Copies of this chain bind each other. A is one copy, B any other.
């Protein structure tokens, strides 16, 4: 039989996985405990991975770049009844996240405006600077 020709799955320890993914081993263990990665096989108590875990870590990274929290990534990866295509998974989560990102963007743009005006300030006291503010808590217009 052609046992040799079949590429047998190299078993990798957590240190090598972490290195290849640019993570600390503690992060890999954390992802496992947080339900992002499933429990890998163990050899004498130590985790043994095959290379597919690197793809799962890449998914995690992609989702992080998109701003998703660990809880959201868990939903994304394991929170759907079986064969749910990525398109639907993303749609379920990305719209809300987009709205969230847009809110944060607006906040930061506002900060920029405030900061620029503060840099042009000529008030005699700090209290004078603050007098331009709306009387009370009016951060979100009713």
Contact = CB atoms under 8 A, between A and B. Distances in A.
A77 B127 CA distance: 10
A87 B101 CA distance: 32
Interface string A101-112: 110110011111
Interface in A42-78: 52, 55-56, 58-59, 61-62, 65-67, 76-77
A87 B130 CA distance: 13
A91 to B, nearest CB: 6
Q: Is the interface of A mostly helix, strand, loop or mixed?
A: helix
Interface of A: 20-22, 52, 55-56, 58-59, 61-62, 65-67, 76-77, 85-87, 89-91, 94-95, 97-98, 101-102, 104-105, 108-112, 114-116, 118-119, 121-131, 133, 136-137
Say how many copies of this protein the assembly contains.
2
Nearest to A52: B127
| 4 tightest A-B CB contacts, nearest first | A22-B137, A58-B130, A55-B127, A67-B111
6 contacts: A61-B130, A61-B133, A62-B114, A66-B114, A66-B115, A86-B123
A115 B76 CA distance: 14
Nearest to A109: B105
